[in-house]
Structure formats: structure tokens, C-alpha cells
Amino acid sequence: MSLRQECLWERLTPQRPSAEALRGELKVDVCVVGAGITGLSAALHLLEQGKTVCVLEAHETGHGGSGRNVGLVNAGMWIAPDEVERKLGAAVGGKLLATMGAAPALVFALIDKYGIDCQARREGTLHMAHNARGQADLQSRCEQWQRRGAPVELLTGAACQQATGTRRIAAALLDRRAGTLNPMAYTSGLARAVIGLGGRLFHHSPVTSLERQGQGWCVITQGGAVSAEQVVLASNAYTEGEWSELRRNFFPGFYYQVASAPLQGEPAAGILPGGQGAWDTRQVLSSIRRDAEGRLLLGSLGNGAAKPLWFLRAWADRIQQHYFPQLGRVQWQSTWTGCIAFTPDHLMRLFEPAPGLLAVTGYNGRGVTTGSVVGKAFADYLCQGGAQALPMPVQPMRKVSVAGLRSGLYEAGFSLYHAGQCLRVVI
């Protein structure tokens, strides 16, 4: 079986919600733009509070990063807790950390409440130190989280080797709040829950303009229009068209993954035997996890769709043979790429550019939990009012300078590093 361009999560989620394109005019309390995790979480929590809601999706549910990510149910932010508080202040940073620390619990609660079959596992995640500097960083993160009462533990020695399944890692930070899932199945489950509560979902309905209409809004698509008192822009890295300023507030990056055929036998059973998802401390990181059928999934920063399949196969071979040589030769089956909205400080941005209009961007690769949290927070804010409903204050929109150059430099650096890995110059 040869490697092919195909999103594994789509293949493993055949029963995805179907929906027609919007035709004609519709009036609702809230119009949500984007049927990813953020938009669907917002719609679901709005419906729970009695609002009428429609969701407009330019493609199909889960088309963007929501259905293409690694499927890590992470706790916290990309940057360390102390750094979050330094950037935002103790009060704002502390609230954000507490909210994001509890984010996996929200995801799992939604899965339980709505019976979402997404192969969720709740055994935590492992952040793996690839060298002494990485181990020092993880020791610091562990101490920072433990000061805040988080159930994290730094594994070393035999405990680390047993948890990871590799001798190449000397220490790993186990975060017991976290877990893994099939992100397309989770997103699809949210969509089915939205429909079940009476929400309207429209596929293939890209927004072409957004206009103020009295005290409300008119959201116009190619085939129709929605009149709404309030609007949530939840398109994030997949924002399309010139009608929204949102796409100027981040710079896009990419993340690719390569999945093996299902693995069997004792050597495979020893890799991440506890079911945790993992990633290492390299600046150009590698993510590692198993799926419900035993596949090995490797991923890294960069646009895999722009690289030849032989390059991706060579890269996957190099990472697998470095960490898990006991597997011998692995058959790689599928590869896919998703887009990430990056911000210069690696913190998300919440916007309220006009009354009744909310937007978000900049998840920096933590979409499953952040999207679930922000969607709920937006719903609570629109229904109940008060800034306390939001995990952090809204900010004015500010264009990211030289976004194209930033994206190009990131991609060039990622590609160079991966080439070095393939050539065994670096690992």
C-alpha cells in the first residue's frame, strides 16, 4: 500500500453531517460563520440557552483545522504558564490559564453529554524532552503547573521509557488533564448536536459580505442572506475573501501528518502503551500518537501538501527509526496538511469590532480545546453579557506586519530542518 494524500480522520469518520447550501433569506438570533470546533461549540451553547442559530460553512463541516489536526486534547497554552502571566498580567493571565487548564474537562463533558463517538481517550499527554535543554524546560513547566495545582508529573528513567516506548527520551511531562480523540469525529458530533437542538447548518455557503442592518447584521452568501442580531466569526486560519479584516490579524502556517497502516505485535504495543498523545521539545517539533486501530501518526510543522510524497516518507522513516527502531520498516499509508493561525506572541486574540460582532483567531496549534472553550465563552457573552464570560479581554484588531514574509520564513525554516532530518544531518 503506497503513501497517498488523504486525511485519515475523514476516512475514519464516514458518517459526517450533510447540509444544503443556503438559498434565499433567513432570520435568526445569531449567525455563526465557520462549522469548525469554535463555531459549532458557540452554536451548541447558544442553542442550549434558547437562541435561534444558523451556521454558515464555506466548504463542509470540519473542512479546516478542526478536522485535520493531531487530535490532542491539550490543557493550557503553547507557552509556559509564567510567561502567559508575564505577557498578560497576573489577573488576566491567571484567569486564562485556569480556563485553559480546565479546557479538556469541557471537551470530555461535551462528548459525554451528546454521546459523541470520537475515540476519545483521557489518559493525558506527554511532552517529551529530546535533549538536556528540553528536559530543563519541562522541569520548569512542571514546577509552574504544580504551583497552580495541576496534576502534572515529570517522568524520568524507566518510567519515562515505559510511558513513551523509546530510549531516546530522558524525560517526559505527563499532563493527566489532557487526552486524545479523532478531531473530525468530534467536530461532526458537535454538528449533529447542533442540528439535534434545532440549529440550521449550511454547507458550501461562503460569506461574501457582512453589512450592518439597523441594530443587527446581514450576512450575505453567494446564494442567500441571513439577518441576525449577532454574528460570530469562527473561521480562524481558514478565513476566506476580502470581506473580513480577521485574516489580517494572524499569519498562516501549516502542519502535516503521516499515518502508518495499523501496527500489530509486541513492539508496536510498547509504543505509547498508555494511550497518550505526545510531542517533543524540538523547535521544529515532531508529534507522535497512536489511533484507535493502532496506527502510528507522526507530524511536524510545515506544508506537506507542497512536498513530494517520497520526501514525506523519508522524513517519517527518519523519525520512526530514531524513536522506535524496534518496529523495523513501517508502511506509511496516508498524509495530510492543515493550516494554523499563528500570532507573534503565540497568544490568541478575541475581537469585538462592533456591538454584536465577535471574532477570534490565533490558536497557534491548540484548536480542539481552545475552540471548544472560546465557542462556549462567546455564547455566554452574547446571552448573558459581561466581560467575565470571556477567557481574556477583547482587543482592537491590529494587522500582523509582514504576515506573508513571516509565513514564508517559517516555511523555509521548517523545510530546511526537515531536509536535514532526511539527510541525517540533524534529528
For the whole prediction, is pTM greater than 0.95? yes
Q: Average pLDDT for residues 376-394, to the nearest whole number?
A: 95
- Determine which helix (DSSP H) or strand (DSSP E) holds 42, and give its type and residue range: helix 37-48
Q: Where are the alpha helices (DSSP H) in 57-203?
A: 65-68, 81-88, 90-101, 103-114, 132-147, 157-164, 183-196
Mean pLDDT, all residues of the chain: 96
* pLDDT value for 384: 92
Q: What is the pLDDT of residue 138?
A: 98
Residues 6+ apart with CB under 8 A from 381: 358, 387, 389, 390
Superfamily of domain 4-422 in the CATH hierarchy: FAD/NAD(P)-binding domain (3.50.50.60)
Question: What is the tens place of the pLDDT at every residue in 164-207?
Answer: 999 999 999 999 999 999 999 999 999 999 999 999 999 999 99
CA distance 160 to 164: 6
- Would the pLDDT of 1 be above 80? no
Question: Tell me, what's the pLDDT at 424?
Answer: 87
When pLDDT is averaged across residues 13-39 and rounded to a whole number, the result is 96
Residue 242: pLDDT band by 50, 70, 90 thresholds? Answer: confident
Sheet holding 277-280, edge to edge: 4-5, 332-342, 251-260, 296-301, 286-290, 277-280, 125-129, 171-175, 152-156
Percent of the chain with pLDDT over 70: 100
**pLDDT tens-place string over residues 257-315:** 999 999 999 999 999 999 999 999 998 999 999 999 999 999 999 999 999 999 999 99
Side chain identity at residue 195, one-letter code: I
- Which band of pLDDT confidence, cut at 50, 70 and 90, is reported for residue 385? confident
Residues 246-264 have pLDDT tens digits of: 989 999 999 999 999 999 9
- What's the average model confidence in pLDDT over 356-367? 95
Per-residue pLDDT at 243 exceeds 90: no
The percentage of the chain sitting over the pLDDT mark of 90, rounded to a whole number, equals 94
Mean pLDDT of 121-128: 98
User: What DSSP letter does each residue of 262-289 carry, written as one string?
Assistant: PP-SHHHHTSSTT--EEEE--SS-EEEE
At 427, is the pLDDT very low, low, confident or very high (cuts 50, 70, 90)? confident
Q: Give the pLDDT band of residue 68 (cuts 50, 70, 90).
A: very high
- For position 426, what pLDDT does the model report? 87
